[in-house]
Amino acid sequence: METSYQIAVSFLVTLLLLSFFMFLLYKVRKIRTERDVRKAYFNSISRIWLGLLIAVFGLNTIIQFSSAVSYIVGGLFIIIGLYNVWHFNAARKYFKGNLPIEEKAWAEFNRKTRQNGK
């Protein structure tokens, strides 16, 4: 029992750290890009990782502290985190569909800019 508890907590902490670093990675990618649709796409992916972070934190709270308050708070965190994942996954799908349109418009803009510059 003790070994499985330690493995579960270690796994959840690892997942917490992974989701936090992935959240930061996609936030930086959002900041560094110039294109609006790509910014929204990276923002939605970062929010998915944030939702996973919140849900795993709630699960970790429930596993580590077994009291009524931790069950309520952990349950709320899990619900909010999973809603975040669900909502921003739909946003990610929407923006992913618009990436080719933006790529085409960006190429056209660059072509016109080069023609006017010559």
Blockwise average pLDDT, block size 10, the chain, 118 residues: 85 94 96 90 95 95 90 95 95 88 85 79
Q: Please tell me the predicted confidence (pLDDT) of residue 118.
A: 60
In tens, the pLDDT along 18-50 reads 999 999 999 999 999 988 889 999 999 999 999
pLDDT given at position 1: 64
What lies within 8 Å, CB to CB, of 18 at 6+ separation is none
Provide the greatest CA pair distance for the chain. Answer: 74
Burial of 45 (0-12, 13-18, 19+ CB in 10 A): buried
pLDDT at 107: 84
Run of H or E residues at 4: helix 2-32
How high is the pLDDT of residue 75? 95
pTM of the full structure: 0.85
